[in-house]
A and B are shown apart, each in its own frame.
Chain A
């Protein structure tokens, strides 16, 4: 049976893992390669690395981090953050990443999504959507949550699937970093709408939250950061809990 994936996410800035609240207040959370190896050993199903470096130097450092990660772990991983051109995609895949996560660039120019999926295949393209509640719906935000767009999240999710997205990584900006649980309405609505895998993100604080994202949010995978970084709940605890609740997981 296809299992639900648990995906630790690491935000990387200038070669170090950091974690903030609602995209702000960044704190150091360790060496990404070391963390990657630890998560892989503990049973992570995949990993996501988001480069949030602002400088050119930071981006160069990140690429070498990707190469080191590819040598250190034997599970799939996705790389995102600031990918704006086909060359960027080829560079990170060539460095050993399995997938890239695209966000701002494809919102600004949706045709880029089609070009990217034709060039490297949909299986390597994750579209990340940052969603924020507004007037009973959700709006797409870009540039790491700094800029609002008038784009409706549901319209955009459907469109990305048609343009060649292989899966969707949906982050609720309202719940991200709050550790109060995922935005289940958002997840369920998107999961009912699109026929590609959905990764839930933003808000995990307990193992119950992760179960809810899968059962109530109908997510195929769940992404979380801080609950893993500070070792409050281990991956194996979460998997055991999900298994006990009849959710298929790799154990």
Chain B
């Protein structure tokens, strides 16, 4: 069963609706004792990095999240906090993926980056099986992850940033897969069936 990590951050209902649509069974919890029984984990996220980390801390999840062995998918803020650090209120993050999260420059582009943008596939990953390169996904964010060796999807806004990353069993997508129409559903299905 899929475990959705509940830390009081936004779009849990949306992720649940998407999994319902896929006919996938899931549970929502913030207790390690329950989450460690999940075959796969999803960390949704809306909002900002500092409050996300604080609320994971309050739930006592931080140390455990760094040692998870099952396939793990972070969405939006859930992806950003996989990195080492976010400049959003100078926040120390989980550090399972190397690199730092920075803010878009408002002098170059409108902030937030909001709407449908294309994801160019970078490195091969099961997460994007059956999804064409340059497919559209829905983004809403003001901070971005750099392009590194762990990048599996790249998007251009101002410059290029990581729209999707993978390091071992940890996957992250900056876009809201649960709100990205059929392509988003395909990605979630890939995570559930192929990752």
**Could you list which residues of chain A lie within 8 angstroms of chain B, going by C-beta atoms?**
1-5, 40, 45, 70-71, 74-76, 93-96, 98, 120-124, 166-167, 195-197, 220-221, 250
**Could you list some 27 contacts between A and B, CB below 8 A?**
A2-B157, A3-B136, A5-B116, A71-B20, A74-B18, A74-B21, A74-B178, A74-B179, A74-B185, A75-B179, A75-B181, A76-B138, A76-B179, A121-B48, A122-B142, A123-B112, A123-B141, A124-B10, A166-B140, A195-B110, A196-B111, A196-B112, A197-B110, A197-B115, A220-B114, A221-B115, A250-B136
Which residues of B (86-108) have their CB < 8 Å from a CB of A? 106
Q: Specify which chain A residues have a CB less than 8 angstroms from the CB of B113 in the assembled complex.
A: 2
Given A74-B179, A123-B46, A197 and B114 touching (CB < 8 A)? Answer: yes
Asked whether B189 is an interface residue with its Cβ less than 8 Å from the other chain, the reply is: no
The size of the chain B interface, using a CB distance under 8 A, is 37
Residue-wise interface mask of B (116-150) relative to A, using a CB-CB cutoff of 8 A (1 in contact, 0 not): 11100000000000000000101111100000000
Residue with the greatest number of chain A CB neighbours at <10 A, chosen from B11, B13, B176: B13
Given A1-B118, A2-B157, A98-B14, A74 and B20 touching (CB < 8 A)? Answer: no
Q: How far is the CA of A40 from the CA of B21 in the complex (A)?
A: 15
Asked whether B59 is an interface residue with its Cβ less than 8 Å from the other chain, the reply is: no
Asked whether B180 is an interface residue with its Cβ less than 8 Å from the other chain, the reply is: yes
Q: How far is the CA of A76 from the CA of B140 in the complex (A)?
A: 10
Secondary structure at chain B's binding surface: helix, strand, loop or mixed? mixed
* Top 3 A-B residue pairs of the complex, sorted by shortest distance between their CB atoms: A121-B47, A250-B116, A250-B136
Given A96-B14, A98-B14, A195-B106, A2 and B117 touching (CB < 8 A)? Answer: yes
Find the A residue at minimum CB distance from B155.
A2
Q: Specify which chain A residues have a CB less than 8 angstroms from the CB of B111 in the assembled complex.
A: 195-196
Residue-wise interface mask of B (1-22) relative to A, using a CB-CB cutoff of 8 A (1 in contact, 0 not): 0000000001101100110110
B112 contact from A4, A75, A122, Cβ within 8 A: A122
Q: A45-B116, A74-B179 are in contact. List 13 more A-B contacts (CB 8 A).
A: A1-B118, A74-B17, A74-B184, A75-B181, A76-B176, A76-B179, A95-B13, A98-B179, A120-B10, A123-B47, A166-B140, A195-B111, A196-B110
Tell me, rounded to whole Å, the shortest Cβ–Cβ distance linking A80 to chain B: 17
Q: How far is the CA of A122 from the CA of B157 in the complex (A)?
A: 19
Does the CB pair A123–B136 fall under 8 Å?
A: no
Tell me, rounded to whole Å, the shortest Cβ–Cβ distance linking B110 to chain A: 5
Does the CB pair B17–A71 fall under 8 Å?
A: yes
Asked whether B169 is an interface residue with its Cβ less than 8 Å from the other chain, the reply is: no
Does the CB pair A1–B117 fall under 8 Å?
A: yes
Does the CB pair A220–B141 fall under 8 Å?
A: no
Q: How far is the CA of A121 from the CA of B136 in the complex (A)?
A: 24
Find the B residue at minimum CB distance from A196.
B110
Residue with the greatest number of chain A CB neighbours at <10 A, chosen from B20, B115, B118, B180: B115
